[in-house]
Amino acid sequence: MGGEKAGAAGEVLLRRLKRLVARAATAEGSDRRQLLALLDDVETTRRGLLRECAEIEGEMRQATVRATAIGAYLRSSQTGRGKRNN
């Protein structure tokens, strides 16, 4: 499913972020080019994680709508058969 693929992509991004944090800890403060490249990598990773979060949020919203619809269908079918609603 799409959720599994998104989860794998999110894991890759989180591992990349951890590597970037480790690189930042050892970066020379005087090496401007290295710091700019590091900032760019962190920003790119951050945007990727935000996209993954938005995708997961959409999937969760869709699952909630489906669960609500299933519950409504179940209540409707029980009412039609004369069963008591819980």
pLDDT digits (tens, 9 = 90+) for 28-46: 778 888 889 999 999 999 9
- Mean residue pLDDT of the chain comes to 86
pLDDT for residue 10: 84
Whole-number pLDDT of residue 86:
55
d(CA 56, CA 60) in angstroms, rounded, equals: 6
Q: Where are the domains of the chain?
A: 2-80
Residue 47: how many other CB atoms lie within 10 Å: 11
Q: pLDDT confidence of 56, banded at 50, 70, 90? A: very high
User: How far is it, in rounded angstroms, from Cα 57 to Cα 68?
Assistant: 17
Token readout for 81 is 């058969």
pLDDT category at 4 given cuts 50, 70, 90 is confident
